[in-house]
Amino acid sequence: MYNKRTFGKGMGASIGLLAVIALLIISTGSAYAVPLAGIGGFTIQADQLTAESAYIYPGVDDTSNQDAYPMAVIEQKDVKIDGMKLMKSLDVSAVPGLSGSARVVMTSSDTVTADQQMVKVSNIEADTAEFNQQVIDESNSNNPSDQFGIWAGDASKNQDKLQDGKIVDISGDGPAQKLQGANIKAHYLASSSISIPGLSLQVQYDQDGDGQYNE
C-alpha cells in the first residue's frame, strides 16, 4: 500500500500529530490490545476520526518505560480528526525544586488533517467504529510483521483472494474507518504532512501527584 522508503523520508517527527489514529478496532467499543500499566505512552483522544485507507500490522518499538515492546503499527492516508487532544504525563519529582508530575496537553480548535501517517499503539478504544472495505488476513512468513495484517479502504491487493466469493464484494465508497469517541495509547506518531488549526499547547502541573492538574 505504501512505498515505505518514500514514506519514511518525508515523515519527520511531527509530534502532534495527534493526528491520531485511533483506528483499528475490530468491533464497536472493543480494545485492539489489552491496556497495560507501566509501559509509558501518550494519550490521543478524538471526538471523530476518519481515514480513507489504512494498514495495520504487528510491530515492536521502545516506550518511555521499556525496550522492545510489542505494538500494533498503523499506517494511514487522508486522515481527518475532530476534537483532537494529545496528552503526555511526566514524573518531574527528580527535577530540583519540583515534585509530582507535569502534563503536556495539545488541542486543536478545528479539524486536523494529515496526508500520510504512521502510529504505533498498545491500546485503542472507541465508542463506535465503522469500517469500509476491511480485510483481515494472515500469511506464511518468518517475519511477524508480515504474518498478520488488517487492511481497510484501499484493499485492492487482496481482491485476488475473493475471486471465488459468491456474495462478498469489498469494493465500495466511503472512508476506510470512522471512529467516534476514540481513545488511544500511542508510543510513536509521525506524519508526512499535517495541519493543526487553532493549535493550543499547555503545560499543566500537579504538585501533589494526585492527578489534579492546574489547567
User: Is there a domain that residue 27 lies in?
Assistant: yes
**Which residues, 6+ apart, have CB-to-CB distance to 31 below 8 Å?**
25, 123, 124, 125
Average pLDDT over residues 2-20: 33
Q: Provide the percentage of residues in the chain whose pLDDT is more than 70.
A: 74
Give yes or no for residue 6 having a pLDDT over 70. no
- Judge whether 158 lies within some domain: yes
Calpha distance 68→186 (Å, rounded): 14
C-beta of residue 78 within 8 angstroms of C-beta of residue 105: no
Range of the domain at 58: 4-206
Run of H or E residues at 2: none
Q: What is the pLDDT of residues 55-97, one digit of tens each?
A: 888 888 888 777 888 888 989 999 999 999 999 888 888 888 8
1 vs 138: which has the higher pLDDT: 138
Q: Is residue 180 one of the residues assigned to a domain?
A: yes
Taking a C-beta distance cutoff of 8 angstroms, is the pair 39, 100 a contact? no
CA distance 80 to 46: 10
Q: What percent of the chain has pLDDT over 90?
A: 25
pLDDT of 13 strictly over 60: no
Mean pLDDT of the region 20-38: 36
In a domain, 134, yes or no: yes
Is residue 211 domain-resident? no
| Total number of domains in the chain | 1
Give the pLDDT confidence of 115-130 residue by residue, as tens digits.
989 999 988 999 998 8
Q: What is the pLDDT of residues 146-173, one digit of tens each?
A: 888 888 886 555 556 666 566 767 776 7
Q: Does any domain span residue 214?
A: no
Q: To the nearest 10°, the Cα dihedral for 33, 38, 39, 45?
A: 60
Mean pLDDT of 37-58: 85
Over range 100-125, report the average pLDDT. 91
The grid coordinates listed for 118 are 504512521
Q: Is 136's pLDDT higher than 50?
A: yes
Is residue 139 in some structural domain? yes
What pLDDT sits at residue 38? 57
Q: Does residue 160 or residue 25 have the better pLDDT?
A: 160
